[in-house]
Each structure stands twice: as C-alpha cells, then as structure tokens.
Structure 1
C-alpha cells in the first residue's frame, strides 16, 4: 500500500475543532442532545499563561472536550476579561482548527514562512504548549492552532477516543476543577 505524501504546507491531519461558547454547560447539553457527541470532560478554572499580541496575559477558561472518531471537539468559555483570542472572538462559534505537532518549533517556522503569524503563545499549567496563528488569506476569525505533542497529550487523546467509542449516550460529564485542586 502506498502512503500519501504530505502536501506542501501540510501539518498533518486536523485533530481538533475548537468553538468559543457563551455558556459552556448549555453548549455541552446542545452538542449531546442535537449531535450525539459525548461523553464530555469538563475542565474548569484553567489559568493560562500566555503572550497575546506581544503582551503577557492570564485568561481563565473553562473547556469541555469530547471526540467524534479521532477528532477532538473543544468548547471554550472564558471566565475573566484578560486579553485573549477567546475574548476577542467576533462571535460564538468555530474558533480554530488544531494540529498536533511533534516538533512545534519547526512547524512554527514552516507556518511563518508560509505567511501565518503567531498571535498567542500559551503554556499550560500541567505542562505543554499551544500556539495560535492567523493569516489574512485564511480570514481573521478562524485561527490555526499548534498543540505540542507530549506524552500527556497522547494519553488524553487515546483515553478520550476510547471513551467516545464506548459511550452509550448516558451519564454526566466528568469534571476537573483547577481551582479545587489548588485549594482555592
């Protein structure tokens, strides 16, 4: 069997579609009822350490993660007014498409050489990094996201894909709360 060669500019398959929402719980309910997506993992009170448009910022977000096949669906609600690509989204809806990068620095150089510019660089509290990029040619309202391929990322994806494949349509979302873990 012949493998398909990557196209110039390709960063591999799209692994995630991210949506900014106004009410995370209502969005999870709608995606579950109307589209049959689940089960969900809700992660609340995530403090992001980011540089957005060249300035340090600490947005606080809640997210919900689920899968449709190998594609991760991420719903994002920002909880504070910190500068971020979530706060500055023109409207709720599709926010980004993400690629998982084995070598994020090499992929960033390649993307920048192709005309994309870094608008936000984020360090996760539990480790890992992700970067949002934009291109005027792709439109100002949808970002390209590069996710650093870490062991933790691979485990989370494998567990989510397996849970989705085995899901019977019932049950409440699992919840992780960073504030409770930090004692606040």
Structure 2
C-alpha cells in the first residue's frame, strides 16, 4: 500500500489551497488519535483523514466529490477500506456506501468538527488552539453566521454515529489537533511547513 508520504504527495498534487490542505491535516491528526484510542491501524486511519477531500478543490460538486478521489486511489493501489470510508463521508453516497464500520464513522465524525475547532481558534486573540475550551466551540456552534460552511447537523450526528459524547469528542479532537498546531498554523505563531 502507498505510504503516508505518498498520500501527502498525492494530496498536494491536487490541492493547492493551503486552508484545504490544513483541513485535511487536521482530520488526519484526529483520525490518527482515534485509531490509537480504538486500537486500530494508525497509518490506515491517518491516510484516510489526509486524503478524504483530495478531489474537492478540482471537483467540488457533491455528485463528483469522493468519486473522483476513489478512482485515483484505486489506480494508486490504496486499501479498499480507505476508499470506502472516503466515499461514505459524502452523504450522497450513503445508499451504496453506508457508514457501517468504525473507520467510516470516525471520518464522518472528524471532518466537520475540525473545521469548527479551527474557525473558533482563529478568532481568539492568540489565534491558537492551545487552551481552547470546549465551551467556546459549543458557543460558536450556536452562532448562525459563524463558520457558515460548517454543517451543524454533521457535528452532532458525527459524534452520535461514532457513539461518543459531543463535548468529549470536541475535547478529544482539540487535543489531537494541538499536537500538530504548528503545522496547522494554530500555534499563535507563523505557520510552518505543512509536510511535517
């Protein structure tokens, strides 16, 4: 199977938008942490997070998104479980790819919550994720105009599908993202190289 380095190269060859790259790196960090928690394959889970939106910049329509990525990943020899989970995180595919395994549920749960956490961290005076409270994220979730692109239903449903309390989920993902805060530009300092 291709390595994490291969996955990163594939992602950056199709995604030039730095914010979208950081989003995928955030989901990678959260997925890796959940793999550790559940005793799953960390490499498999982190690559799933890293590649889940790799076609989105070039193919943003929901009818194409994930289907194009699935074709790329199949051609490159990626594990079928990664491809399945990526297809399953797009709600339009649920009839053929229901989220019926832990990997798919984990990806769905981690996707939108990383966006809400990032947006909340970036409006803090420090622009840092360090010390970010769950209550701050929950408060921003209730603000309709804030991070309007983040689907609130997905935040709630993702945690429910994974079988975790939403507050615990938010705290867990904040911690996972904090471990790579410099790479994500959420350390309150200048951004570092994304590839680390």
Q: TM-score with structure 2 length normalisation?
A: 0.29
Larger radius of gyration: 1
Give the number of the structure whose residues are more often strand, by fraction: 1
